[in-house]
Structure 1
Amino acid sequence: MRADRLLQIVQLLRRYGRMSAAELAQRLEVTKRTVLRDMESLSAAGIPVYAERGRGGGFALVPGFEPDAEQLTAEEARALFVAGGRGTAEALGLGNSFCRALHKLSTALPDDQHRLVTHVRERIVLDAGGWHREPAALDALAAVQAAVLDDERIRIRYRSRQADAPGDRTVDPWGLLQVGTTWYLVAAHRGRPRSYRVSRISTVRRLGEPSRRPPDLDLHQVWRQMRDDFRGAPATEIVLRVHPPRLPLVLRSLAVTALGDPEPVPDEPDAHRLRVRSVEGAAAMLVGFGAEVDVLAPAELRDRIIAIAEAAGEHHRTASRRSAPTEVELLPYGQNSR
């Protein structure tokens, strides 16, 4: 664990140039005293780290220092070649470069590691999409990626799940996320971080202005916070089978109470799983779709739909009886009824 922390310190100093003991302690989640001991260990190991005192001081590496490259271990080589995402590289327009890079690395490995890597790659294939999921259209990914890498502000046309029509947003790109097979743009809109599903972005216009990206931004931490907030929100998981032509309308109706995007259910044709804030709200939205939606789970949601439908039926039957015309006995003209 300590060796990993020492490597982290070197990586942080190479990236940021100079950092105080307090900054390092916060990043590494240790005390300042631990950081000082680690600096002594690095110096004793021959790493050219030095301290600058005074305001604005801190620890830094001697300019031009490059650590010696270490040979990959067998486990590291296997992890790199098996877990490396060809699908991710292809989505970013780097598929051919990715394959060439792996080929170059493979040929540079010792014979035993080369045989191990080849053995594993011939036997393991990763496809996060699965049998039922079609890859989403990612026409905007290239333009979004360019704006992220160039730190340039953009205006996007985006259609959220709850909107009937797309709208324009001016955003400061912070980064790209791939969650499963879904790509998201993480960007600040009016100063607050948001996530935008790339497949819902129809146009991207670069504004020629620098993106307002915090200099110490940690995209991994931003994503973890977003994920924790999402998971921490009170929610109920529901599973629906929806007549395919009605799926977009059903999802738009549920957008007010839904959390996140629906996920196809393996081995259940036309079934989707999603999380909702309120079973009551979901039932109120779904009751109008009648037989076009089957609730597979939970039973509570089915019961609420039945209760709402029965209450509505009884209400309208009663209203219909109240408004029915009164029957009147009709007598021949001129004859009085007694």
Structure 2
Amino acid sequence: MRASRLVTLLLLLQDRGRMTARQLAEELEVSVRTVYRDVEALGAAGIPLYGDAGHAGGYRLVDGYRTRLTGLTADEARAAFLAALPGPATELGLGDALATARLKLRAALSTEPREHAGRIQERFLFDAPGWYGATGQTPHLPSVADAVWTRRAVHLRYRRWRAPEEIERRVEPYGLVLKAGRWYLVANGPHGIRTYRVDQILELQSLEDRFTVPDDFDLAAHWKGHLEDFRARLHTGEALVRLTPEGARRIGVTPEGEGWTETRVPIESIDHAHGEFLRLGADVEVMAPAELRDRIAATTRTLATRYGV
């Protein structure tokens, strides 16, 4: 633990220049007294650093000195690929590794690229989840990620939307996908390769069984095919509707002039379309199917009665 802290202290000085003992203590989450001892240890090891007294003082490395201790560990290398996703990296148990990896990467850069990297971090932020979608709790995510890394099978108890609502099965975790703020596990099981929402895993037991992913399996290609198949199964019907220019804009249809636009749109089901078209209020009129039109008319009559219209 102390060796790792000494390396981090050295990289901090190399990256930021002069730093006070208190600043170092805050970064390293240790006491100022511990920083004094660590600085003495680095000096005794031959590291050319020195301290300046006074208000503007602090510790710094001799000009021109650069450490070679910037090699990345396995966890840090993994975290570096998630550098744009600090939240997900933390969820995967790689938050500390990501911070160290960033520090090492900055320390390995010369002054100009380092300043450019700092400006990128200050001015750009990637926030994956949508505005209104509350992400679920994923207490089993670190264990799932470990199984993906180590190619070990797991036994899980899982909640799904159709009966039976709870299932248990042994699966081989092939990969993890982050989609719209939710984690999905792509795994091979008794019924072939399936996708599981990680926040719906109720219990998980890591097994000693190792497995090998087929050479022809590609996670990105599989996920693309999964989404295409999902969309094909999702929209099984269509509705004929009339839309105002505002209604057309809201569902991504090009309006035909300033009047109403008649078009056909794909729908998932009568129940789902009923709720979606009600969101458009007076900007839509459903013409067909008759069942959907009747459902919306009945809801409209109920609302009119409820509000005394």
Q: Describe how 1:4-19 pairs up with structure 2 within 5 A.
A: none
Asked if the contact 1:295/1:302 (under 8 Å) is kept, the reply is: no
Percentage of pairs with the same residue:
28
Query: What one-letter code is carried by the residue in structure 2 that aligns with 1:226?
Result: H
Secondary structure of the corresponding residue to residue 122 of structure 1: helix
Query: What one-letter code is carried by the residue in structure 1 that aligns with 2:221?
Result: Q
Which runs of 5 or more residues in structure 2 are unaligned?
Answer: 1-79, 239-264, 299-309
| Cα distance change on mapping 1:81 and 1:169 into 2, 3 Å | closer
Q: Output one character per residue of 1:271-328: Cα deviation in whole Å (capped at 9) or x when no partner.
A: xxxxxx984x7325787xxxx99831575489744515879xxxxxxxxxxxxxxxxx
2:222 corresponds in structure 1 to: 222
Structure 2 residue 278 is the aligned partner of structure 1 residue 295: yes
2:194 corresponds in structure 1 to: 194
Which runs of 5 or more residues in structure 1 are unaligned?
Answer: 1-79, 239-276, 312-338
Asked if the contact 1:173/1:211 (under 8 Å) is kept, the reply is: no
Secondary structure of the corresponding residue to residue 278 of structure 2: strand
1:179 corresponds in structure 2 to: 179
- Larger C-alpha radius of gyration, 1 or 2? 1
2:269 corresponds in structure 1 to: 282
Moved over 6 A (4+): 80-83
2:107 corresponds in structure 1 to: 107
| Cα distance change on mapping 1:299 and 1:100 into 2, 3 Å | farther
| Cα distance change on mapping 1:237 and 1:120 into 2, 3 Å | farther
Secondary structure of the corresponding residue to residue 125 of structure 1: coil
| Cα distance change on mapping 1:169 and 1:202 into 2, 3 Å | same
C-alpha root-mean-square deviation of aligned residues, in Å?
3.7
Asked if the contact 2:236/2:269 (under 8 Å) is kept, the reply is: no
Asked if the contact 1:148/1:175 (under 8 Å) is kept, the reply is: yes
Q: Describe how 1:131-210 pairs up with structure 2 within 5 A.
A: 131-163=131-163, 165-210=165-210
Asked if the contact 1:154/1:172 (under 8 Å) is kept, the reply is: yes
Secondary structure of the corresponding residue to residue 206 of structure 1: strand
Query: What one-letter code is carried by the residue in structure 1 that aligns with 2:161?
Result: R
Q: Output one character per residue of 1:62-85: Cα deviation in whole Å (capped at 9) or x when no partner.
A: xxxxxxxxxxxxxxxxxx899621
Asked if the contact 1:139/1:202 (under 8 Å) is kept, the reply is: no
Asked if the contact 2:235/2:269 (under 8 Å) is kept, the reply is: no
Query: What one-letter code is carried by the residue in structure 2 that aligns with 1:295?
Result: L
Shift of 1:133: 3.4
| Cα distance change on mapping 1:86 and 1:284 into 2, 3 Å | closer
Q: Output one character per residue of 1:240-273: Cα deviation in whole Å (capped at 9) or x when no partner.
A: xxxxxxxxxxxxxxxxxxxxxxxxxxxxxxxxxx
1:129 corresponds in structure 2 to: 129
